[in-house]
């Protein structure tokens, strides 16, 4: 069963920062997940929330230029030892992670729906193509059906995953089929053994998010789950 570091090892360092990715690599993770949003001047950045209030900043990523956002301290909210951690551009993150991990799961946040057009679409497509040309294995995913479709249209060579919020439904399975997805990422809070069986019976990979209890990880492994996204569990902790 794969262990995927969720936003880096976000249970040990501030999420989606170089520190979180370094923590994951130091524990032997070979797979990592990150989130992508765009700045006001169309720079793709690694960040989960458009609203940075949770990190101590009264700003929206989508309304600020990169020159402003790159100065923000994204580590002190987590602990003083992480003071000075910065937002990463997607380009910078891919450059770092290419030396640390085998596969990177890039989640396109729902806020991008309707805004991933024109220069943004071209810029993201070019960055993904460049990373792939350098031998980096990428997996695209989103909760938003239209963004999964965007991946199918603009980077069809990259595998795609449908993200499920809440219980698995027939609509999720239909979306996976329509978009040629290779995987479905299931909500651990609602996940049942039969959900994994349903997904795998269709020839798809079944992964679960977010799993932070060893006993739960072991149960999912017994059910045949192919991978888990975790904030803190180290690879091999669910023998």
CATH code of residue 49? 3.20.20.190
Q: Does 118 reside within a domain?
A: yes
Q: Does 193 reside within a domain?
A: yes
174 contacts: CB under 8 Å, gap ≥ 6: none
- Annotation says 115 is catalytic: no
What is the reported pLDDT for 134? 87
What is the reported pLDDT for 238? 75
Dihedral in degrees, nearest 10, Cα atoms 47, 66, 138, 172 = 50
Q: Does 194 reside within a domain?
A: yes
Catalytic residue among 48, 83, 172, 185: 48
Residues in the chain: 239
- Annotation says 154 is catalytic: no
What is the reported pLDDT for 236? 81
* Per-residue pLDDT tens listing for the chain (239 residues): 999 999 999 999 999 999 999 999 999 999 999 999 999 999 999 999 999 999 999 999 999 999 999 999 999 999 999 999 999 999 999 999 999 999 999 999 999 999 999 999 999 999 999 999 988 999 999 999 999 999 999 999 999 999 999 999 999 999 999 999 999 999 999 999 999 999 999 999 999 999 999 999 999 999 999 999 999 999 988 77
What's the rounded Cα separation, in Å, for the pair 79 and 54? 13
Residue 142 domain boundaries: 2-230
- Report which DSSP code applies to 80: G
What's the rounded Cα separation, in Å, for the pair 227 and 229? 7
Q: Domain tally for the chain?
A: 1
Q: Does 180 reside within a domain?
A: yes
Peptide bond into 210 cis (omega under 30): yes
């Amino acid at each position: 069963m794969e262990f995927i570091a969720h936003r880096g090892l976000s249970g040990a360092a501030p999420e989606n920062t170089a520190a979180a990715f370094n923590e994951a690599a130091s524990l032997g993770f070979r797979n990592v997940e990150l989130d992508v949003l765009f700045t006001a001047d169309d720079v793709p950045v690694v960040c989960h929330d458009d609203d940075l209030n949770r990190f101590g900043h009264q700003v929206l990523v989508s309304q600020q230029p990169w020159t402003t956002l790159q100065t923000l301290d994204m580590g002190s909210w987590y602990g003083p030892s992480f003071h000075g951690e910065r937002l990463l551009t997607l380009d910078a993150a891919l450059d770092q992670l290419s030396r640390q991990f085998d596969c990177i799961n890039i989640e396109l946040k729902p806020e991008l729906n309707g805004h991933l057009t024109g220069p943004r679409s071209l810029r993201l497509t070019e960055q993904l193509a460049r990373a792939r040309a350098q031998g980096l294995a990428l997996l695209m995913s989103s909760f938003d059906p239209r963004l999964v479709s965007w991946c199918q249209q603009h980077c069809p060579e990259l595998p795609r995953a449908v993200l499920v919020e809440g219980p698995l439904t027939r609509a999720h399975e239909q979306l996976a089929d329509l978009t040629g997805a290779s995987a479905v990422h299931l909500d651990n809070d609602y996940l049942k053994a039969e959900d994994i069986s349903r997904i795998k019976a269709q020839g798809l990979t079944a992964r679960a998010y977010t799993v932070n209890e060893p006993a739960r990880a072991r149960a999912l492994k017994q059910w045949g789950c192919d991978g888990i996204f975790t904030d803190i569990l180290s690879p091999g902790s669910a023998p």
